[in-house]
Structure 1
Amino acid sequence: MRSADPAALWDTIRLGLSKQLPEASFKEWIAPCEPQRVDNGTLWIRVPSAAAKLWIEQQLPEEFNDALAQGGLADLRLVFHVDGTPAAPKSAARKSPAATGNGAAEAAPISFPHLFNRYTLDRFVVGPGSQLAFAAAKAVVDNYGKAATPLSLNPLFLYGGAGLGKTHLMVGIGKGLLARNPKLRVAYLKVDNFFNELTVAIKAKNTEPMRKKYQQNDVLLLDDVQTLGKMERTQEEIFYILEYLLQHGKQIVLTSDKPPQRLEGCHERLITRFKWGLTADIQPPDFETRIAILKKKLEDADFKNVPPIPDDVLTFIAHKAKGSVRDLEGFLTRIIFQASLIGIPPTLELAHAAFQGQSGEEPTAAIPPDRIYRMTAETFNVSLVDLMKKRSRQQAILLPRQVAMYLAREIASTPFTDIGRAFNMHHSTVMNAIDSVRERMKRDSEFHRMVQALLNSIH
């Protein structure tokens, strides 16, 4: 039986979080929190400030979900409230429909963690690097239950680096399907948590009920399948579950940090199942998409009382946080958090200080354009002299040169006139070249991936 002691429950959650978060992050965000009471399956947790509440709910939902699952508390709801304000009355503590289900779906497993409330398809900002993945996610929702089409979307396999939105799209699919048919049995599951559940079942010498529990779903959302490589028995159980669901026409969505063919240690028959449907990747967002993500983020209800963020601050964030959507949103939240602590509006100076405090780097220390030009030449296998000075309209020279100009502007914010001077060109020619690269990135996904990979390697 689960403990009703809020301190004991919080200790279990803290233990799970301590294994996931860096020590500094744990001390900054988790240590100051205090458990208050347990009511109707909800643990109320007091946090020291509105900014801390915002950070936890916006930046740590996946970490909290993992900690709950690993502690055997997957059905426990968490509510964070600010120090100095009373927790909601007991009558207000109710499980959401996502947690309890309704009607015929009453006995179904939890659809997805309640902390994932912002993961919906309409809140996903689409860029050149995520167009295919988003279109596929939307198609799964729109075409569910309809006659088979020539393009198979089952399973849908989404892959990409950490923090790029794979889980967002996956949960968005589940929510979209439930919005259309609340009676669907939808289960969200991380591979690591399945492993922990399976371990308990093996000790009890009875894995059949667990297998049947997942086979009875209409939709299975299986997160982080790249961790399957060293889990022999887990692979076997997941294979039987996927095989059953596919044979009965049930929808499966999978996520990974790499494509199926690069999953080390996975059985070939499992990889074959992963590749049956559509595989779509998600690449880091480009500059324009990063700006759009920040503006979309600021439309959230959580940010309604935040002072306006100047455009120069958003531009600075978009230039500095290139790695992932999570990095981007985290940097924005940190600036808002620090501004609230000091009691001043967010400014560019504050953004510089926040960046230096987070990364240890000087915010004004730009990457030299010469380094960008040199690495671009190496990537395209042309000499630096030819890239910079050779007068040629051949694609072998023209394309790398345009990419080098684009990267100089994107990474180092180099003025158009300075780029033109380096290439002995008029600044208007440079502007046209950069526009040409941006347009091609929008319509050519392979080119977009190549440019983005080069950008990340330089940065």
Structure 2
Amino acid sequence: MSKTAQTVWNNCLEFIKDNIQPQAYKTWFEPIIAVKLTDNALSIQVPSKFFYEWLEEHYVKILKVSLTKELGEKAKLVYIIKMENTYGNKQPFTEKIPSSNRSAVKSQEVDIPLKNKNPELRNPFVIPGIRNVKIESQLNPNYSFENFLEGDSNRLARSAGLAVAAKPGGTSFNPLLIFGGVGLGKTHLVHAIGVDIKDKYPEKTVLYISAEKFTQQYIDSVKKNNRNDFIHFYQIIDVLIIDDVQFLSGKTGTQDVFFHIFNHLHQNGKQVILTSDKAPVDMQDIEQRLLSRFKWGLSAELQTPDFETRVSIVKNKLYRDGVDMPDDIIDYVAKNIKSNVRELEGAIISLIAQSSFNKKEVTLDLARIVVEKFVKNTKREVSIDYIQKVVSDYFQMDVSTLQSKTRKRHIVQARQLAMFFAKKFTKASLASIGSQIGKRDHATVLHACKTVDNLTSTDKQFKKYVDDITKKLSV
């Protein structure tokens, strides 16, 4: 049987998956697409130049071993990076890993043109003298890279943030979109980027603003008939940071004005940084032309930190506050508060406060009382694995059957229900849900959710399935 790019790459992935951490595999290998196989050269598509450089720096050995197993000693790997410039033209870039036995491969410096800049271009909207007006950045200096601890859950986002801070507007990450659930550090990270830029480039105008406040300012400008002044102001910003951009959903006027501001900043080499609680592909009621802009740069997900990272966060918090705490108590807190960094730090603050106010020693019993309050007040987060088990048990089938390629109607419906409940009960992206439920893509998950909604309103038996499983998951 002749080999295809997909089968070769799937075999490589099986080997890689067995030899690296699950989180690293998810971050660095799941987004890769196998493109073509020519003789002994496999071409793979990666999302950005940064992604390619990271693979070369950290995973070149394992890539070479896995590919040599599949294609022999003369195996070659070709990276394809597809970027879009301001006018929508594709800028392909390829780089080969040669079949030598070097432990690492140096990457060539390749300039990927991202924008057509004209040095004679003048901004017709700049109000004379406005450059002399001091614009407060609205940044919180307490949020820094030093106290944003790196782990598998945030490595891509943090590394991209450092790259942007070093060269704002001059990297492939424009815009840089940081997305993830509540309390995972999105706001902290974008403040840290802004603070670092201000330190390195004091002359640059940096502005942090929430999407909610941006919307309110726009509404006020329309009321006062000075919409143009609003636009002019934002067009002179060098680094624009907008928090919770999903808040623009359904607000067509604000989206339209942001679209024009974004285009102007991007074309003039200014940096745009955004945060959202979901990936661009999952955003509802945001215009396609705006979503396509979000995809020009890098979308980096902040995920739930693993146990080791949570322990590091707690220890760092205690060190900054000058407090000592026994390791068994730190471990207990980190094991029991999993989904939210903000709550993790809140529990530590509460523990210190309880101890201080009541003049009690910090003990494991005190930790249990504090943690119990936090966990009780937090809605239990259901995992995708748990959802698949509940749905499979309900329909009396194995999880492997649920995830299989079969098109039998009752199995397809069970799979669609698992996807529907994963979207309802977890913060995972559609792509992540699809990947975990039978290695499907985000479009399949979206279709599954629509199908479940339609069947629930037209089929009484199917509605009973939904109600029964909802009860089981809500216990």
Q: TM-score, normalised by structure 2?
A: 0.53
Taking a change above 3 Å as real, the CA distance of residues 349 and 248 of structure 1, as seen in their structure-2 partners, is: same
Tell me the residue number matched to 1:181: 201
Tell me the residue number matched to 1:125: 149
Tell me the residue number matched to 2:355: 339
- 1:328 maps onto 2:328 in alignment: no
Taking a change above 3 Å as real, the CA distance of residues 358 and 166 of structure 1, as seen in their structure-2 partners, is: closer
What letter matches 1:110 in structure 2? Answer: E
Alignment of 1:422-433 (within 5 A): none
What letter matches 1:316 in structure 2? Answer: Y
Residues 164 and 324, structure 1, Cα contact 8 Å, conserved in 2: yes
Give 1:141 shift: 1.6
Give 1:359 shift: 4.0
Distance, in Å, in 2 between the alignment partners of 1:242 and 1:385 is: 45
Residues 158 and 255, structure 1, Cα contact 8 Å, conserved in 2: yes
Residues 110 and 188, structure 1, Cα contact 8 Å, conserved in 2: no
Q: Deviations over 1:127-165 (max 9, x none)?
A: 11111111111111223365xx6xx11111111101111
Residues 105 and 184, structure 1, Cα contact 8 Å, conserved in 2: no
Give 1:237 shift: 1.4
Q: TM-score, normalised by structure 1?
A: 0.54
SS at match of 1:162: coil
Distance, in Å, in 2 between the alignment partners of 1:189 and 1:108 is: 16
Residues 375 and 458, structure 1, Cα contact 8 Å, conserved in 2: no
Could you list the runs of 5+ residues in structure 2 that have no partner in the other structure?
1-129, 402-430, 438-472
- 1:355 maps onto 2:375 in alignment: no
- The equivalent position to 1:111 in structure 2, one of 137, 140, 144, is 137
Tell me the residue number matched to 1:312: 328
Distance, in Å, in 2 between the alignment partners of 1:229 and 1:374 is: 34
- 1:248 maps onto 2:268 in alignment: yes
Give 1:254 shift: 0.7
Tell me the residue number matched to 2:97: none
Taking a change above 3 Å as real, the CA distance of residues 213 and 255 of structure 1, as seen in their structure-2 partners, is: same
What letter matches 1:126 in structure 2? Answer: E
- 1:270 maps onto 2:290 in alignment: yes
Distance, in Å, in 2 between the alignment partners of 1:189 and 1:372 is: 37
Alignment of 1:60-459 (within 5 A): 107-113=133-139, 116-144=140-168, 152-300=172-320, 303-304=321-322, 306=323, 308-360=324-376, 383=398
Of structures 1 and 2, the one scoring higher in RCO (CA 8 A, sep 6+) is 1
Give 1:355 shift: 2.3
Q: Deviations over 1:186-237 (max 9, x none)?
A: 0001100111112221111111111111110110001101111121211111
Q: Deviations over 1:234-283 (max 9, x none)?
A: 11111111111001010011110111121110111111111111111110
Taking a change above 3 Å as real, the CA distance of residues 450 and 336 of structure 1, as seen in their structure-2 partners, is: farther
Residues 337 and 375, structure 2, Cα contact 8 Å, conserved in 1: no
Give 1:383 shift: 3.7
What letter matches 1:271 in structure 2? Answer: L
Q: Greater shift after overlay, 250-259 or 334-343?
A: 334-343
- Report the structure, 1 or 2, having the larger helix content: 1
Distance, in Å, in 2 between the alignment partners of 1:348 and 1:106 is: 57
What letter matches 1:119 in structure 2? Answer: Y
Taking a change above 3 Å as real, the CA distance of residues 377 and 294 of structure 1, as seen in their structure-2 partners, is: farther
SS at match of 1:118: coil
Distance, in Å, in 2 between the alignment partners of 1:318 and 1:196 is: 39
Could you list the runs of 5+ residues in structure 1 that have no partner in the other structure?
1-103, 362-366, 387-444, 452-456
RMSD between aligned residues: 3.5
Please list every run of at least 4 consecutive aligned residues from structure 1 whose deviation after the TM superposition is greater than 4 angstroms.
371-378
Give 1:384 shift: 8.0
